[in-house]
Amino acid sequence: MTGSRWPQGAAPVRRRGPALERAILDAALEQLGTVGWNALTMEGVAAGARTGKAALYRRWSSKADLVAEVLSEGLPPLGEIADHGSVREDLYRLCVRMRDVMRSPAGEALSAVLHECDPTHAYRFREVIRDGLHGPAQLLIRTLVDRGMERGDVRPDATNEMITDVIPALFMYRAKVCGSEWLDGEIAEMIDSLMVPMLRM
């Protein structure tokens, strides 16, 4: 830089409203992927978005507020799971979809943030993964189990609410404690050795 906080050829760009917010969110997600939570700064995001720091603070009062919106807004939706003829196959497809969400740029950034941040912020970002992935997954699991009951391949008393907790809990354990993701074979093994026996006993 030469007497300016802007790199050569990177002068501020005049944008307002949604266009400016989109540029800021994109810059924050990009920085999360490169420098992580601890090194991310509002100044760095502003520079990446080619705007002033004041534009960020008018919208988000802190780095945590900004990052929470980046992650919430960036996680792809799970969508619906088509009927593949068995609860085993339906749950397998759901788990693959969950893994793909965590492989997205926002999902990978969220995993990194959960490993880096302090306990206070970790609680907030766990809310992001709960609201953006695990909560919707639990609703889908309940739908798939109910579908299996109607089809006849799930026992009729498989109504315990903890059934919907098993898959999200294992995904969180693998991401937060082990720092690794699920391979296709591991997903299949988990469904075949745990979920199917539990649902068909």
Write down the pLDDT at residue 48. 94
Say whether both 68 and 117 belong to one domain. no
- Same domain assignment for residues 193 and 150: yes
Q: Is residue 147, in this structure, part of any structural domain at all?
A: yes
Label residue 41 left, alpha or beta by phi (over 0 means left) and psi (-120 to 50 means alpha). beta
Would you give per-residue pLDDT tens digits along the chain (201 residues)? 333 354 444 556 666 778 999 999 999 999 998 999 999 999 999 999 999 999 999 999 999 999 999 999 999 999 999 999 999 999 999 999 999 998 899 998 888 888 888 888 888 888 888 899 999 999 999 999 999 999 999 999 999 889 999 999 998 888 777 767 789 999 999 999 999 999 986
Confidence (pLDDT) at 199: 96
DSSP class of residue 7 equals P
Is 29 in the same domain as 114?
no
Count of structural domains, the chain: 2
Lookup: tokens for 85: 């003829």
Question: What is the per-residue pLDDT for 12?
Answer: 60
Domain of 81 in residue numbering reads as 77-200
Please report whether residue 4 resides in a domain: no
pTM: 0.82
Instruction: Tell me whether residue 42 is in a domain.
Output: yes
pLDDT at residue 9, rounded to an integer: 46
- Cα(128)–Cα(135) distance, rounded to whole angstroms? 10
Same domain, 61 and 126: no
